[in-house]
Amino acid sequence: MRTVLLSKSDELYLEKCAQENQFSYGIIVGHQADLTKSVVVHLARNNEEDGDVEDLADVRLSISDINSQALASQWLSASKMCPGSFDVIGIFVSSVRSDVVNEQSPEFKNAKKLFSDIYDLLLKSSSSFGVYTTDIAQTDFVFLSYSLADKKVLCKNYSYGNGGTFSNMEHRFVDKPFEWIQLECSYDLDDVLPILDSSRRVNIEDQFQNVIVSVRKNLLASEVFLQNELVEDTIDLQAYIKKKKTKVDKLKPTSTSGASTSAVSNATDSLPQLASDGAIGGGDPIRASIVLPVKCQLSKPTDIKVREFNGTLRMSGIIATKVFCSPRNSIADVKRFLRDDVLRSLITRIQVYCDGLTDPYVTNEALYISEPPRRVFFSLPSEGTSSSTGAVVQFSEYLFRGEAPTVVVAQAKQILDVELDPETISVEAEGLPDDSNAGNDRTDDSRIMPSSMPKPELSRSLYMVGIAVALLVLLASVALHYVLSEG
């Protein structure tokens, strides 16, 4: 049976939601620790201005009053902010009434319909940019309801399909802090793709879709190295850390001061564990590398041909990746989380960029330069997340050039229900691109489109202004020469 682990701070948050609003609802961000255990990372009530729930202080409100569109919007937005090792795993309801924890009440029928509506909305919203991760689609979710009247929690597993079904699920509030191990990776994007569209005006969003498909294909064929070595998929992260730490301890000279270094504790039967030395190097992140095969190895020999195209698309840059894992995660899980984080970050910034386009088309004669937003990281305040030790869990947001960290503060409040200090937001993980070499390869008649507001007519206007100025200078020179000659 599947088990959901929550911290005492989660219980306090559910109580707070019911006390402040009488009726609250929101999303559950979680982590799959192993095949049967999920760890709740964060609970975030919905702060959307919901037209259907005009007064959350109304005790009579029930699950049927929840706006599925508002909840699905929060779900999608939070998914973009989560690292690759975390996902939105379900929804919670917190109420002063006791019927939300009564399986025989009409609330459970309403909850099934709510899940079904949200799932359909999620499918429609994600279809425009294809497969979101490198793993199979999620079909099982968590429904968590809390009654302030009974001080009781009910937890159910919801399975999509056949109208939706609820099944039993265990839940436990634990006193021990969760332990997180951080892994980091810098993924280099440097590839050239052909533009197969032969029309004069090319759709930018379609070309970005091709980028996503290409990167996903490469990631699935890639190999992930930890600390510059290939690690067997079947062992868990805790065993790997213990093995590496043992090697490091053997290489250390014997100290005469009597100091000793403790290895990571052996696995226990329960989760979460007490924090140990965590990652290699006394809590430092584990560095990972995603190594891609030679490109021609991904194709059959018969697929390699010399062709001509009307244009090419070059993608270049660095995707900063951070994931947070349980010591009991297998190395195979860790590698999948890293790949998912790269792909999720790429898709998110492309979606954000395309949402701001006024015209998705550009002529194929132009040299078009796009600058999607860069990734910034922030930690959840201690009062806004489950208690934990080891690495501090971080989420991410995306900023365009010129945008201030206050944008992240507003997003975190609305989507994750947390208060952030702008000074604590890390904006250095991904640097801004250098504009000085942006157009080195262009010809005299090519046009560079600005990244944030693509306007082909702007370049044409500037070009005509240049010609007009040159003609004025020429006429002035002729006139001056004529005057001097007459004199």
Domain ranges of the chain: 3-175, 179-246+270-424
Q: What is the pLDDT of residue 177?
A: 84
Between the CA of residue 209 and those of 51, 128, 318, 359, what are the distances in Å?
Answer: 34, 9, 18, 16
Q: What is the pLDDT of residue 41?
A: 96
C-alpha atoms less than 13 angstroms from C-alpha of 272 in its C-beta half-sphere:
30
pLDDT band at residue 257 under the 50/70/90 scheme: very low
| Mean pLDDT in residue range 157-174 | 88
Mean pLDDT of the chain: 80
Mapping DSSP to helix (H, G, I), strand (E, B) and coil, where does residue 291 land? strand
C-alpha atoms less than 13 angstroms from C-alpha of 113 in its C-beta half-sphere:
11
Smallest CA-to-CA distance from 204 within 373, 317, 369, 446 is with 369
pLDDT band at residue 185 under the 50/70/90 scheme: very high
> d(Cα 391, Cα 34) in Å, to the nearest integer?
19
Report H helices in 325-393: 331-355
| Statement: residue 356 has pLDDT above 80 | yes
Is residue 91 within 8 A of residue 113, CB to CB? The reply is no
Mapping DSSP to helix (H, G, I), strand (E, B) and coil, where does residue 179 land? strand
| Mean pLDDT in residue range 168-172 | 94
Q: What is the pLDDT of residue 269?
A: 36
Smallest CA-to-CA distance from 32 within 112, 134, 142, 121 is with 142
| Statement: residue 209 has pLDDT above 60 | yes
**pTM: predicted TM-score of the whole model, two decimal places:** 0.81
Is residue 212 within 8 A of residue 346, CB to CB? The reply is yes
Torsion of CA 98, 103, 107, 113, to 10 degrees: 150
Q: What is the pLDDT of residue 153?
A: 94
Compare 95 and 300 and report the one with higher pLDDT: 95
User: Containing H/E element for 215?
Assistant: helix 204-220
**Best CATH choice for the domain 3-175 from the list 3.30.43.10, 3.50.30.30, 3.20.20.140, 3.40.140.10:** 3.40.140.10
Q: What is the pLDDT of residue 263?
A: 34
> d(Cα 351, Cα 354) in Å, to the nearest integer?
5
User: Containing H/E element for 484?
Assistant: helix 456-486
Is residue 327 within 8 A of residue 34, CB to CB? The reply is no
What angle, 0 to 180 degrees and rounded to 10, lies between the N-to-C axes of helices 68-81 and 107-126?
50
| Mean pLDDT in residue range 316-334 | 95
Detail the DSSP E strand segments found in 218-282: 223-226
Indicate the DSSP class of residue 67.
-
The count of residues in the chain is: 487
Give the range among 57-61, 272-276, 323-327, 459-463 with minimum mean pLDDT.
272-276
Compare 125 and 416 and report the one with higher pLDDT: 416
Query: Residue holding tokens 């937005």?
Result: 77
Burial (CB < 10 A; 0-12, 13-18, 19+), residue 403, is: middle
158-191: b or e for each residue (b if 16 or more CB lie within 10 Å)?
A: bebeeebebeebebeebeebbbbbbbbbebeeee
Tokens of 356: 């701001």
Give the range among 81-85, 102-106, 478-482 with minimum mean pLDDT.
478-482
| Statement: residue 13 has pLDDT above 80 | yes
User: Containing H/E element for 456?
Assistant: helix 456-486
Report H helices in 302-445: 331-355, 406-411
